[in-house]
């Protein structure tokens, strides 16, 4: 199998092996074996860096459904490479961290199976070139993240957060799928590369903008953009390694990746530019504003993640204007925003991953994440404190850390956007740097809250569950590596820029990577530097005076937020569903049959009448023989008699008359195989009916109201007429040539002498296989129920 496609499926293979090996490895922690998977994949992708940096791309395809244009096509360029490195690199650090974080009471096989399932799904998203394959992996990330968030399923908040994230992201995924299908309807291809090549011919099509907004819906929900951001804070109920992996470095970056990948398709339009930019800026501000008032460290990081994702999203929106201007100077200036977005995406993964791990250490060592119960921890956790300072100050965009460099580039992109005439920016563009600056002030404030209110001040040891001490060295390795990267990238940023960021930029907009800047920490006393100095001054003042102005958060009425709206919607939906369900779920079996047959009559009969499909031609039919007529009369008498008999035994025997009469019909029509099958089945079912009804209570036939009898009679007559009309119409139709001639060649085609066996075993082999599978599953269910009952009885006898 091709290397790239194998890289996608290795985590899935490992997931399947975990249940088989975890009991056979003795005292060895299964996490050490799991660690080999992301670590090996990380090395594989690192090896590809020189070739991709030189402009090479790798495409590997395995046919799946070629007749529909659906194949497993893996595509590795600069953009997918940088994402694959984040997925596998952060995956390695998170697995290592989790070995020391998880408790012995946790189910390690389940945790690592879910984690590897998610890792494989994410690799599938970023490496897939086929839209439908990408969608499959996209939804698989939602399902696997649901399992990870609900890992501690005994907690109500974990179940609520998992359900919330699944509903919102899957809802966006359905919209995205509709957008993909619209793109295919326009272009005739599911390939992203081929769509990019031909999309210029379809920008005036009616489906172009609906497809754009539906694709963005999927991206916004996955990357927690306003107003779909509400799922991310509740997802913090997941174990901290999950938060560090999914909600800082990978899953929430899937939406950013999708936007970046689709810039060549939609990016040259004003609708894309303003939608992505405005949503990103609003998310940037609102996430930072809400983060300041949080009292739970993970909640603070959750809202800060929302804010940082908005920052990156707004940069991709601004950078999309580069397509409008082309390769000129203006296009290069807007292209700077894409470079900054990619740079900050990498930086955010480093400092936010480190901070989540710091919170995990605090929670693990002292038993709480509540800021109101913390303070003075720097004296007890000096190493963890160092990691917190490095990560928080990088998030705040302070000098000598990588966050400072990408934050300065963000300011440069917003300031440049004001002076460039693109899509009316000159009118409203001044708001872009203003919103960016205000949001950055709040970013500075919550970064300082994270450090100073957690690690400084008077220790509150009496409010802690246990005395704080540093964790084992193994738990410190992963955040230490991330903090080393945070500092190193400040001093050697162009190593990252030349080998990863420029190729990724070229993967988004080919030919514009030459406009990628050389990253440097000093650009003189320019507007961006003064913006940073203003953030430090104003942010410090607001942090010190927080108690005097934090009451502004109480101005928002309780419940007046999108979470309240979400909860109200689910509550109303449940109430309507309960009302509707109680109306038709009466517990009365005849009522259910009435619903089914009325629906059948309305839909099938209506289709026959209103579509003009009804066509009856009896001229070519064979005459009805005396024996056939007699059988029809016998069956009619038996069917009608069932309605009036008062004995179960008589009703079962009359029902058997119907079945055996059908078998005789098969004999008259020269189908002995079918006749034999019908006889066997009818005999067995009649015997089973007699056996089952023998154990039922005495039959007391209820006297139904007259109107119910009339209703049932009308439904029965209507269903019979509908079936008869369908049969006559099908028999009279000549739309297609009969396929019986094809099956007559069964010996030549399959080597089978018996045409019925050939049909079952060859022509419709998949159908037969699935029927056998259904019977096998049903058998497993029966076997399990019997075993459970026997075990329950054995336990009862043991206790007695």
> What percent of the chain shows pLDDT beyond 90?
55
- pLDDT at 1 > cutoff 60: no
- Above 50 in pLDDT, residue 705? yes
Lowest model confidence (mean pLDDT) among 96-105, 334-343, 460-469, 612-621 = 612-621
CB of 260 closer than 8 Å to CB of 173: no
pLDDT bin (cut points 50, 70, 90) of residue 562 is: confident
Q: How far apart are CA 726 and CA 605, in angstroms?
A: 8
pLDDT score at 58: 92
Q: Which of 260-274, 330-344, 770-784 has the lowest mean pLDDT?
A: 330-344
Residue 174: what are its φ and ψ, rounded to 5°?
-65, -40
361 and 469 Cβ atoms separated by less than 8 Å: no
| pLDDT in the model for residue 65 | 83
The pair of structure tokens assigned to 657 is 């008359």
Place of tokens 């793109």: 183
Report the mean per-residue pLDDT for the chain: 89
What confidence category does residue 326 fall into, taking pLDDT thresholds of 50, 70 and 90? low
Binned at pLDDT 50, 70 and 90, residue 330 comes out as low
Indicate the pLDDT class of residue 608, thresholds 50, 70 and 90.
confident
* Percentage of residues in the chain having pLDDT higher than 70: 95
Q: State mean pLDDT over 349-365.
A: 94
The answer on pLDDT for 247 being more than 90 is: no
Whether residue 329 is predicted with pLDDT greater than 70 in this model: the reply is: no
- Domain range list for the chain: 1-215+225-266, 267-544
- pLDDT for the residue numbered 404: 94
The pTM of the whole model exceeds 0.75: yes
Give the torsion through C-alpha atoms of 506, 511, 515, 517, to 10 deg: 30
Instruction: Give every CB contact of residue 525 below 8 A, 6+ residues apart in sequence.
Output: none
User: pLDDT band at residue 800, thresholds of 50, 70 and 90?
Assistant: low
**Mean per-residue pLDDT, 716-740:** 82
Whole-number pLDDT of residue 512: 64
Q: What are the tens digits of pLDDT across the range 117-154? A: 999 999 999 999 999 999 999 999 999 999 999 999 88
Mean pLDDT, residues 189-200 taken together = 92
Q: How high is the pLDDT of residue 55? A: 87
Nearest to 264 by CA among 196, 204, 315: 196
Virtual torsion, Cα 742, 745, 746, 749, nearest 10 deg:
-90
SS (H, E, C) 649-708: HHHHHHHHHHHHHHHHHHHHCCCHHHHHHHHHHHHHHHHHHHHHHHCCCCCCCCCCCHHH
DSSP secondary structure string, 541-582?
Answer: HHHHTHHHHGGGGGGSPTT-SHHHHHHHHHHHHHHHHHHHHH
DSSP character for 168?
H
Paired tokens of 609: 């009448």
Average pLDDT over residues 337-347: 94
pLDDT at residue 515 is higher than 80: no
What is the spatial distance between Cα 387 and Cα 640, in angstroms, rounded to a whole number? 83
pLDDT at residue 742 is higher than 70: yes
Mean pLDDT of 655-673: 87
Please state which of the ranges 202-206, 288-292, 644-648 shows the lowest mean pLDDT: 644-648
């Amino acid at each position: 199998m091709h290397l790239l496609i194998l890289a996608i499926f290795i985590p899935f293979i490992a997931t399947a092996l975990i249940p088989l090996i975890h009991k056979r490895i003795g005292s060895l922690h299964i996490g050490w074996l799991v660690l080999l998977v992301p670590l090996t994949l990380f090395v594989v992708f690192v090896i590809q860096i020189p070739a991709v940096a030189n402009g090479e791309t790798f495409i590997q395809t395995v046919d799946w459904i070629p007749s529909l244009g659906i194949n497993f096509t893996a595509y590795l360029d600069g953009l997918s490479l940088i994402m694959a490195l984040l997925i596998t690199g952060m995956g390695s650090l998170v697995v290592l961290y989790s070995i020391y974080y998880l408790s012995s009471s946790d189910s390690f096989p389940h945790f690592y199976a879910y984690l590897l399932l998610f890792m494989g799904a994410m690799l599938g998203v970023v490496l897939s070139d086929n839209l439908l394959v990408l969608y499959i992996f996209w939804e698989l990330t939602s399902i696997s993240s649901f399992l990870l968030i609900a890992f501690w399923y005994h907690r109500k908040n974990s179940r609520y957060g998992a359900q919330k994230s699944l509903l919102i992201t899957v809802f966006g995924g359905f919209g995205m799928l509709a957008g993909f299908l619209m793109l295919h309807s326009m272009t005739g291809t599911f390939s992203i590369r081929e769509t990019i090549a031909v999309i210029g011919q379809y920008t005036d099509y009616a489906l172009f903008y609906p497809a754009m907004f539906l694709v963005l819906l999927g991206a916004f929900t996955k990357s927690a953009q306003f107003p779909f951001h509400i799922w991310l804070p509740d997802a913090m109920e997941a174990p901290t390694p999950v938060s560090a992996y999914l909600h800082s470095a990978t899953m929430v970056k899937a939406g950013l990746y999708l936007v970046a990948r689709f810039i060549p398709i939609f990016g040259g339009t004003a609708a894309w530019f303003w939608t992505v930019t405005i949503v990103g800026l609003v998310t940037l501000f609102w996430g930072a504003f809400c983060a300041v008032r949080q009292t739970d460290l993970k909640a603070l990081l959750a809202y800060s993640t929302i804010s940082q994702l908005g920052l990156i999203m707004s940069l991709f929106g601004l950078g999309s204007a580069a397509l409008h201007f082309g390769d000129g100077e203006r296009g290069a200036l807007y292209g700077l925003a894409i470079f900054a977005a990619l740079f900050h995406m990498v930086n955010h993964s480093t400092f936010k991953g480190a901070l989540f791990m710091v919170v995990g250490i605090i929670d693990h060592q002292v038993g709480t994440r509540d800021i109101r119960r913390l303070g003075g921890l720097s004296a007890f956790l000096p190493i963890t404190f160092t990691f917190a300072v490095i990560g928080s100050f990088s998030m705040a965009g302070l000098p000598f850390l990588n966050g400072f460099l990408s934050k300065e580039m963000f300011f440069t992109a917003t300031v440049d956007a004001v002076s460039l005439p693109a899509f009316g920016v000159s009118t409203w563009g001044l708001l872009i740097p203003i919103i960016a600056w205000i949001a950055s002030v709040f970013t500075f404030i919550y970064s300082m809250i994270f450090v100073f209110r957690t690690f400084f001040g008077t220790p509150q040891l009496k409010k802690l569950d246990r005395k704080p001490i540093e964790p084992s060295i193994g738990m410190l390795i992963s955040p230490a590596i991330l903090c080393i990267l945070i500092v190193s990238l400040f001093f050697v940023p162009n190593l990252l820029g030349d080998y990863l960021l420029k190729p990724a930029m070229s993967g988004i907009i080919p030919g514009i990577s030459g406009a990628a800047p050389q990253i440097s920490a000093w650009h003189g006393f320019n507007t961006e530097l003064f913006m940073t100095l203003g953030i430090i001054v104003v942010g410090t003042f607001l942090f010190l005076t927080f108690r005097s102005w934090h009451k502004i958060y109480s101005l928002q009425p309780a419940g007046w937020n999108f979470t309240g709206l979400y909860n109200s919607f689910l509550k109303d939906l449940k109430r309507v569903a309960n009302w509707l369900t109680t109306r038709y779920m009466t517990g009365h079996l005849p009522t259910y049959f009435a619903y089914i047959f009325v629906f059948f009559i309305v839909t099938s009969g209506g289709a026959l009448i209103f579509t003009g499909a009804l066509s009856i031609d009896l001229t070519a039919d064979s005459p009805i023989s005396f024996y056939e007529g007699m059988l029809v009369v016998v069956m009619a008498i038996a069917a009608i008699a069932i309605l009036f008999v008062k004995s179960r035994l008589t009703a079962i025997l009359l029902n058997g008359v119907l079945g055996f009469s059908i078998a005789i019909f098969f004999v008259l029509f020269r189908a002995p195989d079918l006749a034999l099958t019908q006889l066997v089945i009818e005999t067995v079912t009649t015997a089973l009916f007699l056996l089952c009804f023998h154990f039922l209570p005495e039959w007391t036939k209820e006297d139904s109201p007259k109107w119910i009898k009339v209703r049932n009679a009308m439904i029965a007559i209507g269903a019979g007429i509908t079936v008869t009309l369908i049969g006559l119409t099908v028999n009279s139709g000549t739309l297609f040539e009969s396929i019986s001639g094809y099956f007559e060649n069964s010996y030549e085609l399959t080597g089978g002498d018996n045409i019925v066996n050939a049909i079952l075993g060859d022509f419709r082999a998949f159908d037969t296989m699935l029927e056998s599978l259904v019977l096998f599953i049903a058998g497993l269910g029966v076997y399990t129920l019997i075993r459970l009952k026997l075990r329950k009885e054995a336990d009862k006898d043991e206790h007695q």
